[in-house]
């Protein structure tokens, strides 16, 4: 077995250590500002960002990836046993690498927008996997940020990291306490807001998308909140040509965002 440079400085800990209890809390649903990162590619992605690593947990009996770069970035480094790893891991087959990372903080007043700007608003999203995919979709379409209203799934849930392919660390995410506040913020920046509504008569192909553009998508079960409809924004739909009456929220968001991006970029 290769002896890593940090092997002797890494502290061995057991199940009763406070950091282990902390990680078990993060494993379940995350906590404000912090997220659990587990696995080789997940850490490769983590290292491409400026995110702080509060703690790195390493099981030398399992880990095969070169891990000294992770340890060098981490404030604290711990060695854990295979038995403890099995308790902490969320994977069927763990790589022996787990970290507690800090999510960046984003403030609404710090943003400046142009006619090329694109924003996705997710209202009432219930599932962490869908939230992660929405983040990944916003990143892929080069959206300026993701706005959350009536949030149910936490951006700090470990599944969000996996589903977003780690882009939760680089995609600006803003959360508003209520829908009127989010709507007012969008209006203050001259956004043309389009509500994604399967019942809308106008399709998403009609608008020109020639100014700052925002799309609002609703929850998986009940769709958009009535409060968003009460704001008076236009609604657009994606025509359903088969038997299904709607699409997955992340797929819908992708269609809308890339249509607007294509119009703005002249594809």
Domains 11-102 and 108-265 share a fold: no
Domain 108-265 has CATH 2.40.160.40: no
Structure tokens that stand for 220 in this block = 């998986």
Per-domain residue ranges for the chain?
11-102, 108-265
Q: Judging by DSSP bridges, how do beta strands 145-149 and 118-123 pair with one another?
A: parallel
- Cα–Cα dist 245/41, whole Å: 36
Report the distance separating Cα 174 and Cα 200, nearest Å: 27
For residue 162, the surrounding DSSP H or E stretch is helix 158-163
Task: Report the alpha-carbon distance of residue 32 to residue 95 in Å, rounded.
Answer: 26
d(Cα 32, Cα 141) in Å, to the nearest integer? 27
Give the number of other CB atoms < 10 A from CB of residue 20. 18
Q: Find all residues with CB under 8 Å of 58, minimum gap 6, and list them.
A: 10, 67, 70, 71, 77, 78, 79, 80, 96, 97
3-state secondary structure labels for all residues of 38-54: ECHHHHHHHHCCCCCEE
The pLDDT of residue 1: 42
DSSP string spanning 145-205? EEEEES--S-TTSHHHHHHTTTGGGTS-EEE-SSHHHHHHHHHHTT-EEEEE-TT-SSBTT
Averages of pLDDT over runs of 10 residues in the chain (267 residues) are 53 93 88 93 95 95 84 95 95 93 95 97 94 98 97 93 96 96 98 94 92 94 90 94 88 97 94
The edge-to-edge listing of strands for the beta sheet with 74-79 is: 11-12, 74-79, 53-58, 97-102, 34-38
- Looking at residue 114, its pLDDT comes to 97
Alpha-carbon span 103 to 143, nearest angstrom? 18
Cross-strand partners of 57: 78, 98
Taking alpha carbons only, the member of 12, 161, 36 closest to residue 84 is: 12
Q: What is the pTM for the complete model shown?
A: 0.91
The CATH number of the structural domain formed by 11-102 is 3.30.1330.30
Q: Which phi and psi (to 5°) does residue 109 adopt?
A: -75, -10
In whole angstroms, give the CA distance from residue 31 to residue 15: 20
Nearest to 156 by CA among 220, 102, 89, 118: 102
pLDDT digits 0-9 by tens, 60-97: 998 877 789 999 999 999 999 999 999 999 998 899 99
Please provide the size of the chain in residues.
267
Strand partners, 223: 219
pLDDT value, residue 3? 45
């Amino acid at each position: 077995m290769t002896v890593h440079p940090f092997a002797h400085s890494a502290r061995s800990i057991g199940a009763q250590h406070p950091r282990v209890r902390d990680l078990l809390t993060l494993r379940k649903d995350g906590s404000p500002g912090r997220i659990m990162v587990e696995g080789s590619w997940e850490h490769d992605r983590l290292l491409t960002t400026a995110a702080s690593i509060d703690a790195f947990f390493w099981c030398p009996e399992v880990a095969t990836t070169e891990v000294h770069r992770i340890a060098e970035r981490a404030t604290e480094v711990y060695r854990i046993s295979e038995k403890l790893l099995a308790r902490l891991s969320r994977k069927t087959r763990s790589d022996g690498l787990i970290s507690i990372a800090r999510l960046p903080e984003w403030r609404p007043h710090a943003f400046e927008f142009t006619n090329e700007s694109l924003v996705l608003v997710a209202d009432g999203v219930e599932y962490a996997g869908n939230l992660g995919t929405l983040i990944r979709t916003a990143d892929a379409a080069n959206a300026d940020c993701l706005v959350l209203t009536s949030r149910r799934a936490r951006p700090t849930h470990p599944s969000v990291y996996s589903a977003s392919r780690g882009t939760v660390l680089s995609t600006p995410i803003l959360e508003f306490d209520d829908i009127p506040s989010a709507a007012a913020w969008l209006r203050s920046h001259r956004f043309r807001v389009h509500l994604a509504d399967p019942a809308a008569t106008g399709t998403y192909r009609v608008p020109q998308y020639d100014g700052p553009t925002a799309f609002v998508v609703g929850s998986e079960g009940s769709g958009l909140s009535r409060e968003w409809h009460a704001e008076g924004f236009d609604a657009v739909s994606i025509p359903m040509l088969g038997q299904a009456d709607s699409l997955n929220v992340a797929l819908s968001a992708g269609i809308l965002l890339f249509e607007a991006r294509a119009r703005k970029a002249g594809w």
